[in-house]
Structure 1
Amino acid sequence: MQNLKMTMRRFYLPAVSARWCIALLALMLSSLLAGYPAHAATAVHKPLVVGSEEEYPPFSIGYTDETADGFTVELWKAVAAKAQLDYVIHVKPFKQLLADINTGQVDVLINLAQSEDRKKMVDFTVPHVTVSGGIFVRKSTGRILKEDDLNGKEVIVMSGDLAQSYAQSQPWGGRLTLVNSASEAFNLLASGKHDAVVISKLAGEKTIKQLQLDNVKLVDASIGFQQKFSFAVTKGNADLLARINEGMALVKESGEYDAIYNKWFAIYHLEPALFTDAFYISTVFAVLSISLAGFLFYMRTSDKKQSHHLIREANKNFESVLSAASHFSIIATDMQGVINTFNTGAEQLLGYRAADMLANVNIVTLHHRPELELRRSKLSKYFKRSLSEFDALVFKALLGERESFECEYLSSDQRKISVMLNISLMKNAEDNIIGFLFIAQDITERKKLEEVQVRYLDKLRHSEVYRAAILECAPDAIMIMNEEGAFVEFNPAAEKLFDYQRAEVIGHKVANLIIPAVHRGRHDEGMKTYLKSGASAILGRRVVVPAMRRDGSEIQIEMTVIPFDVDEQQHFLAYAREMSNTVSDRQ
């Protein structure tokens, strides 16, 4: 045993730190690929119990074990095949699955949205899809146009869903109706019961389509929660978490993830979460750290010959892993920043050959220098000490902080490439720092898209300014109503004409506020006829009609109404002025 300890010390002498740093990383990555041999030899084979919730399309479909299907079911099968995991799937209500994983009756949940409370109960993999929450109402409802309008309303949420936790934290969450499935929620709403459903947009739209509900719609308004759906394992099962994350990486690399995603989500134009944000890299580092600790324990408790054999196998696997990780640039350096590892992903991203980069090249040369100099200047001022460019690059890592930030690499032809860069320390078995690991993902296309979005939003803001100016300054009353007959716009001239404030009328029926009671029946029939057949006697024409002010007094107005569509929903724009003013102006 003493000889083995001496041998292990020789492994980590500073003179060979870079080589054994690579070996250590290889052991970490190969442990993900092959699992720990010591455990593999003694573990009792037992299929994993995998939980899939009842009818939450498109993530999960079906009410029985035999009919289980959907995005997460298909993705799990692909991941389990890559990770060589044996399992059985059980379909249960969502709330029951949460209870079962806490009591150990279920090993894996294949579709659980992350939250801080849930992280105390389970461990999450990399998220496989991120979706936003949505508000769904009956089409005949005109009074729920934004989240604040849910105050005082009866809102349906799924029991145990993240939407329930969010709703209970909001002022409008006092009148919740809990259900077990998305289908139950939307059937209740469509039948005229309660006022709204709060659920992920994706699940809501898929359920509406599946149930063929034509009287329910998504409100065109944001709601303050987002769901990162992931696989979840029982708390503390680091080995299983590592194997699932490895399987997900392999499924992504093989193209299977994209195929499964497109099959279930393409028509929704949803942004896939897998491998698209800094959370992925942080998760991988956490998994690698756990794996390394377990592996080093194994090495210290195994015989010397077996350890050497594992290192040789690890080095073989390491080269394969670096080559396969072509979606990421992986560069390792020594303590001075000299590059000693440069993977295929780095070659493809930057256009350099690995052989050329392993000849005393410092990683600083790959960075956009003005950007790096700005970082150096800011950190030098913050820490009140003069830093070199490389020190500025790794200073936070040296403080023990794992840092992810956006920056620019320079390619071999001096093109600037936007990347999400993660910098981490590399340590030996004695916890000595021996270098740095730089993992970068190309986000150039994403940045271009963001720039397009910014330009579009700028134009939109300008158009909003113009629209607001027109509405504010127009001498005529300008009003817009939707196909339910409710106001969605009411300008200052309209406020003056009818003696209502804009906030008082938005979302309320036009007929109830400005049309005399004796004429409301004709108005409603005219609306129904137009929406059904497109026929109207007044649309597009200047007409004189009776109207009603706030105090109930009647006036004659000259009005023109023009129909138009917004997001495939019918709207009506009305210009109006009081008839007496019109006559006076003409005279």
Structure 2
Amino acid sequence: MLTRIILLLLALVLPASGFAAQSPAPASASRIIVVGGNSNYPPYQFLDKYGQPAGYIVDLTKAIAGVMGMQVEIRLGDFGTILKQLDTGEVDVLEGLSFSESRAGHYDFSTPHSIIVQAIFARKGTPKVQGLDELKGKKVLVHRGGGMHNYLKEKGWERDLVLTDSPRDTLEQLARGNCDYAVLALLPGMHIIREDKLENIVPVASNVAPQRYYCYAVRKGNAELLAQFNEGLSILKKTGQFDEIYNRWIGVLEPQKTSWLLIAKYAALVVIPLSLILAATVLWSYSLRRQVAQRTESLSNALAELQRNQQQLVQADKMAALGILVSGVAHEINNPTGIILMNMPTLKKIFRDAERILDRYQEEEGDFSLGGIRYQRVRQEVPLILDEIQDGAHRIKKTVDDLKNFARKDDEARKEPLDFNDVVQTAVRLVDVATRKFTTNFSARYGAGLPPVYGNVQRLEQVVVNLIMNAGQALPDPSRGIEVVTSYDAGAGRVVLKVRDQGTGIAPEHLQHLTDPFFTTKRESGGTGLGLSISANIIKDHGGDLGFESNPGEGTTVTLSLPAAVAGGKNGQ
């Protein structure tokens, strides 16, 4: 097992370091790079109903081409044919190929962009199995040329395999009763079951084989082209585009907590003094003495606001210094954390395999100790320890990523006129899976005839997603509801979004701190206190406002307002 891990690491590192056995022609920015892929492997890569390439890796390839300035032609077809075209040079790079030791002898692999989890599928009512070993000697459906086909061939199971043309063909044959079991990747399998309505098929076991690392692959020695794709992947991860594409297709949705340092109450720094000055002016005609008193009060308030503003500037300077510190140490923290996360599934599998051997040894030799601890206690506590290590590593990575995003300044985000209803509808679709877990009573109403707003669609989607996820997390049980409503306030010239929840509400003393950086009431569940601060900053950058109304035990209403776009102006200005 150690040898396999070392070979895997070498295969992932050496292509990026420039070592090559041979030197195919380097990728030129002036020529079209032909990128091949599987036409029937949803949601990673497939042909849509119009015959056009679509899927997670297809969008990833297009994004890499955009940031690297490459011209690409994406060619999807039969996997075996595309693989042969890579060998002959008709295709320059495969956008999805599972890493294996045998393939590493013929191809160079990029850093992984996906991890493929393999599963066993069966018809409902078929006896359940726990792993591949229970399928030995049975006829099993498997996709010809796929990662599991090669894996099972190496295990000597070839004579028991019933080969199919694609993952979809695999499940269709299983549904018709041709064999009792099929082995294929879990995510494509679930996607096909849902899209084709194969209601009699269910996964009966997952993680049944070593996780397959899904990478870009080139012919052996084409280091320059591979380096471009590796660099493009790195850029997408740093800019957040990688996560956007991943969440769009794979559906792993968590509250997106990227960052900006801004507090919504900054608006009050201008509104309050101006209101006081206006009030003093109105009262001028009644009494000079009252006018003087009003102005004195106004100056006192302005001085207090100035002092508070100075304190906030000092805090902003501290946060700028924190950003420099975070950017310097985040890489050093993420590297060892990534190693822990990558190796922990292997350690868990090793311990599960070792348990059977140790159990037999205990039956034969009696109770014994490991590291000074009785084996029965080791057997109970080691899996918990491994889970705690993995959860801790995930927490470290999440916190570091949040801090990196919070420290990053992005003044160049493109803004354009857009339909705010489209923004909200997209956000609602993105959190559909999560909201169905939070509540059975979700509703959305979109106002008709809303004028456009001027903004950045990705940033505004991020804010709406964050508000809906916060509303869902506030619900004590799924019977409580969430309501999303858009409208237009013609008098104020503003497009308005209201997100109402029937949750536990917010304590009055917490309302004024909701957009403070690092303020959170969900620290125990992993909250970092950056989500609403980021959202308020984004809305402020768009010339809008974010307000909160809440009664403990009755729920919360968040009101987001943006200026309507006007001809010849931006953000209504």
| TM-score between the two structures when normalised by the length of structure 2 | 0.41
| TM-score between the two structures when normalised by the length of structure 1 | 0.40
Highest Rg: 1 or 2?
A: 1
